Structure 1
Amino acid sequence: PSSWVEHLLRSDQPYAADDSFTDLGAFSPSASAQNTRLAVDGSGRIHCSFYRNIPPGLYEHRIYDPTIGPTGPSGWQLDTFVIGDTTGSNDYFGWLSSDALGSVHCAYVVNAASGSPLWSFRYRKWDEINGWSDETSLFDATSDQFTGIASYKIFNIGCDETSGTVHAVYRDLANEGALVLARKLATSPEFEFVEQLQPTTLGQHAYIYPTIRGTLYPAFNNTSFGLDITYQHRENPGVPPYSLIYHDASAGSVIRFIRGDGNEDGSFNVADIVFGLNALFVPGGVSPNCVESCDINDDASFNIADMVYGLNALFVPGSTPPDAPYPTCGADPLGNTLDCPTTSAACP
């Protein structure tokens, strides 16, 4: 079908002032392309990701360089790069975002067929020197976590153009369907939880089609000017009306700490228990900088029960360790509200 063929068009005048466009050719070398996404890197090259809708069904990347082919298809990269599963498994969908440092970021879903036993949502980064990075996992969902609950169009990414930090919003099917925000610093190998935007629910298509504002051009639309998120909320599955929700996630910075590390030395040990007991019971004792780090049992309060929990975790075999973020730095997955004004001194 002709709908499987998508082309890159360029306006003949800035802002398409004369409504005239030049056809620069098909995204795919075989012409078959769906769900195409575009991003422009710092050198003006146009990055295209698309699902090639012919067997085996791959999600691919191709570049158009306008400095090589300003008037036609000569600027197309000859080969494509398979972003997702190279064995072919219906990798239907993904997103692109570019920063001002020369990198292009891609989030995509692998094996998104309805009969798949596992949907795998992943991330890669491209730069001119190294090409595409290895894959980083965003999250996975088993068939019992998505069947009758969600489609694969439940994620998106945007990046801070100046720092290269990548923000990801997605419905976390692996954790009872909450809508969450995560981020990946330019220097970090993994994504870390930032905040929960909407509560857990197994309602069908409860949170779907999220978007994050942020493109390289125009400059005032960059995520560094604000992290703006929208998504569709379906309170009653399959029953209109549906709501388009806006969320400003740019206020403040992400507070990172290690649960149990009350004295902020980068580890959880008996010294933290002594620190906590002093803070609780010794007049004039040093108060913790981040009270949330002292909430070892993660019940949204700091008291003697946390010290008992901590001693058990340290010395009683088989006891439950502290909840996340532990044993490394991170944000609180539950978003509890105990005082924690700044990131722990032990966290970079």
Structure 2
Amino acid sequence: MSLTKLNYTGRYQHLKGIKIPSYPSLKYQELIRDNRFTVDIDTLHSNDKNSLDIYTNTIPTNIIWTPTDEVVPNPLDMPIQEQSLPPSLSSPSSSVSDNVKQVNPLGFIILRNIINSITNEYWKECYRCIRRLYPDNRILIIDDNSKKQFVSNEVLTNTMIIESEFPKRGEFLPYYYYLRTNFCEKVVILHDSMFIKKYINFNSVVDDYRILIHFGKEFINDRESFPSQINMLRALNSDKLNNFYNKKDQNYWSGCFGSMSVITYKYLKQIDDEFHISRLIPVITCRIDRCAFERILGCILQSKNKTSSLLGHLTLNCDWRLNFNTYKNNSYNSNLPIIKIFTGR
């Protein structure tokens, strides 16, 4: 019997592994995706390179994995234009030309996930709030794995809807599809549960990018998402990013709440040229991974250029008790320019 360190260079669907520094050198924590439970690994058999026998303190578990490279698409190789979208997914407006982007360089992306009739109202309210304050700007709605039976139509203008081919990638999707569409020079990325209540001149207050709402090391060091954070760093495979990530306890960088930001296409393209963010597609498949992405995205953005967040710290911008009914009844006390409601999805 021999002992081996877990180094996964292949598919992530079945298993991902990281070394937990506080444990002995040959002890690991594993998240098994199919069953979604956590075990501590004491001993590994490595006689067969295509399988690993994991012995827990309960019963042996055998996991088969395929040591082949993941093939991930380069978003720049697959541009999306409005002409390529079905009529039902696009409002009757001209395609995005350079002239359109010069007149309205600012656009909006709404990430939506509809699971019932109530959440179907979120994206509509988000859209209406944008339209009241920004009547002519382009909007891209990205649908992430919504339940079709609850989706109802809304009269949309100057708007595209893309149904993602990568279900459950959530907050990663706006950045991926912004690279593929390049429909404006600068974009505001919002959840469908974010409602803009006051006009913000995003063009004047943002140069390359700004995180909307940030959080510090007290939330970055999240034990639940820590294994996923490490897997994302491995997927990106950048010594520069790893070194910058390790400065998290020195407040060199902040997390990006909800992965929401205002960012230019030029800056995102620079980010993608260096880190190739589509490598993250195989390692974002569940809520824990999406929470990890909030942290890794903050690290990525600030590794090139650190700026202050637009709205400030998480604790100054969020009332965890605020739900959609309270919002609709105006039963809340807030002068914030953007309101965030909370729901379990």
TM-score (norm 1): 0.28
Q: Could you say which structure has the larger radius of gyration? A: 1
Q: Whose strand fraction is larger, Structure 1's or Structure 2's? A: 1
TM-score (norm 2): 0.28
Q: Report 1 or 2 for greater relative contact order, CA contacts < 8 Å, sequence distance ≥ 6.
A: 2
